[in-house]
């Protein structure tokens, strides 16, 4: 690995990150009034699908004066040779850094940094406290939340922020990104699935028949955003991981109506309680597999008691759909990074891995060393079964149901290489492994689930595809690969490269 995180270059706030994107030509500000009713979503989706710069909406219909909205960031760029520059620079890396090098640098920085206690600011010092709504002033409809897709069940305010909550005993503070929709001026509802950490904590409060204090921080710093879609173990605070990545304290400030600490540099803070004994319908919402579900689910009502915000606040948005957009990159990159760490800690011979963005992060591509057999003494069957049982019995295995295991010659982030390896190296019978006994289900919003699976909330389609050219012929020579890089002598390749442009080809 040649890339290393430069912590001094990590933007310290979402606003600073947006300014950096503007300087890099990765951001377009729209000064015309834009309608929250589908128009914002259409602009966002077209920008994502054409790899255009990130849109910033400076004037949104019906929004309170000064409120803006913007692409969360981290999507794919069309800049030549730098497709992952929006992700790289948010972690202090050069814009040309390849995706797998970004992952290695990110993991290294988190593991080599130390968690630092928060630097707690007085409210007068915290940018997120510059303005405050309480009582009848609170009107969530004045925040420029979009009706993002044609068919959504409402205006989704929370798609790219941090839900922040604590266990009743205060021992665990959890950050998570879980979508939430506006019900009325002072009420929201969002997803609180029991298998997810926020749902686990809500279950503890529900057992005590108590309302749960809760806050939502929108427009947080890049190091906080890295943990928004992470899959770290239960009872580990995402704050600790963010401060380890930065290797210094984060500025935090106490909420107005509870003791919850929130990032002081956030654009908008929504405070309230998750009410015991109440429900509101949530959904549908177009999601990252690229489809609109057709069901709603009852979730607890979130009653808003206070809203604080910066001057001219910016609401970050993630409007998922067909790949690739910022939802695929943020979820795919950070979940796969946590997954690689978990697999290595379990003693599995894994180099790296990536949730393939072009596959709507439904494929987890894991790269293993050529000498995995010599290292472990395992047969292929033993290796693949250990891999599947390790992954799908941990928190990291909640969202994906298909694993592709490739050799070290395949870049897990290169869709062309992955498709070639899958097509040419996986045997549909002998090197394909199913795990019907495990409970992992995916997210349930994939388009392939049958009615029985959905009714039972139990998947039967967990599968590992071993895409290893020498899979069951350990010790025999690998077949020669017919590529420019691998098949020709160095002098021949160099002559071709030296004359390439002179012959009329473009570099």
Which 3 state secondary structure label does DSSP give 180?
strand
Q: Which ranges of the chain have pLDDT less than 70?
A: 1, 441, 443-444, 451, 453-460, 470-476, 507
215 neighbors 262 (Cβ within 8 angstroms):
yes
Closest CA to 357 of 414, 409, 442: 414
DSSP label of 397? G
C-alpha separations of 442 from 209, 338, 358, 369, 393 in Å: 30, 17, 17, 27, 12
Q: Which of 26, 282, 287, 446 is catalytic?
A: 287
Question: Would you say the CATH fold of 346-486 matches that of 7-317?
Answer: no
- Residue 287 annotated to the active site: yes
Provide the b/e sequence for 373-383 (b: ≥16 CB within 10 Å).
Answer: beeeebebeeb
pLDDT, position 186: 98
The residue ranges of DSSP E strands in 36-93, in sequence order, are 54-60, 68-71
Which CATH superfamily is 346-486 part of?
UbiD C-terminal domain-like (3.40.1670.10)
pTM comes to 0.94
Tokens of 356: 């393939």
Which residues neighbour 65 within 8 Å (Cβ) at sequence distance 6 or greater?
A: none
pLDDT, position 454: 66
Closest CA to 241 of 204, 206, 197, 199: 197
67 neighbors 131 (Cβ within 8 angstroms):
no
| Lateral strand order in the sheet of 363-367 | 352-355, 363-367, 402-406, 463-467, 432-434
Q: Report how far residue 305's alpha carbon sits from residue 275's, in angstroms, rounded to the nearest whole number.
A: 12
Instruction: Please state which CATH number belongs to domain 7-317.
Output: 2.30.110.10
- Residue ranges per structural domain of the chain: 7-317, 346-486
């Amino acid at each position: 690995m040649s890339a290393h995180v430069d912590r001094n270059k990590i933007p310290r706030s979402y606003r600073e990150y947006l300014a950096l994107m503007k300087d890099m030509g990765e951001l377009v500000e729209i000064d015309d009034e834009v309608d929250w009713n589908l128009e914002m979503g259409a602009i966002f989706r077209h920008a994502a699908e054409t790899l255009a710069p990130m849109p910033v909406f400076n004037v949104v219909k019906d929004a309170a004066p000064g409120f803006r909205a913007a692409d969360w960031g981290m999507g794919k760029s069309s800049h030549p040779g730098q497709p992952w520059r929006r992700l790289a620079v948010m972690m202090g890396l050069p814009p040309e850094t390849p995706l797998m090098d970004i992952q290695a640098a990110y993991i290294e920085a988190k593991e080599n940094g130390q968690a630092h206690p928060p630097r707690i600011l007085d409210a007068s010092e915290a940018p997120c406290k510059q303005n405050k709504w309480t009582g009848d002033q609170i009107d969530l409809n004045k925040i420029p939340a979009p009706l993002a897709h044609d068919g959504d069940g409402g205006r989704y305010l929370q798609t790219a922020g941090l839900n922040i909550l604590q266990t009743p005993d205060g021992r665990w503070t959890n950050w998570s990104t879980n979508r939430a929709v506006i019900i009325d001026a002072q009420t929201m509802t969002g997803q609180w699935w029991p298998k997810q950490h926020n749902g686990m904590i809500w279950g503890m409060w529900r057992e005590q028949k108590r309302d749960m204090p809760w806050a939502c921080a929108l427009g947080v710093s890049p190091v906080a955003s890295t943990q928004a879609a992470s899959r770290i173990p239960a009872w580990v605070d995402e704050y600790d991981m963010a401060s380890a990545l930065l290797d210094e304290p984060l500025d935090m400030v106490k909420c107005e109506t509870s003791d919850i600490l929130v990032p002081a540099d956030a654009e908008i803070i929504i405070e309230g309680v998750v009410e015991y004994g109440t429900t509101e319908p949530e959904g549908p919402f177009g999601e990252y597999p690229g489809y609109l579900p057709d069901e709603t689910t009852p979730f607890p009502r979130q009653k808003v008691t206070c809203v604080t915000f910066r001057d001219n606040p910016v609401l970050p948005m993630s409007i998922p759909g067909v790949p690739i957009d910022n939802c695929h990159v943020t979820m795919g990159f950070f979940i796969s990074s946590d997954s690689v760490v978990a697999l290595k800690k379990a003693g599995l011979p894994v180099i790296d891995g990536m949730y393939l963005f072009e596959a709507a992060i439904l494929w987890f591509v894991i790269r293993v060393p050529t000498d995995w057999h010599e290292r472990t003494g395992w047969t292929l069957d033993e290796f693949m079964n250990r891999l599947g049982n390790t992954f799908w019995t941990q928190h990291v295995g909640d969202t994906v149901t298909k694993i592709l295991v490739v050799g070290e010659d395949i870049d897990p982030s290169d869709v062309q290489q992955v498709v070639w390896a899958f097509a040419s190296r996986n045997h549909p019978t002998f090197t394909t492994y199913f795990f019907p006994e495990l409970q992992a289900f995916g997210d349930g919003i994939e388009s392939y689930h049958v009615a029985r699976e959905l009714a039972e909330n139990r998947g039967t389609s967990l599968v590992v595809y071993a895409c290893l050219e020498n899979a069951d012929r350990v010790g025999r020579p690998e077949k020669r690969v017919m590529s420019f890089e691998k098949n020709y002598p160095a002098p021949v390749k160099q002559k071709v490269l030296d004359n390439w442009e002179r012959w009329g080809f473009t570099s």
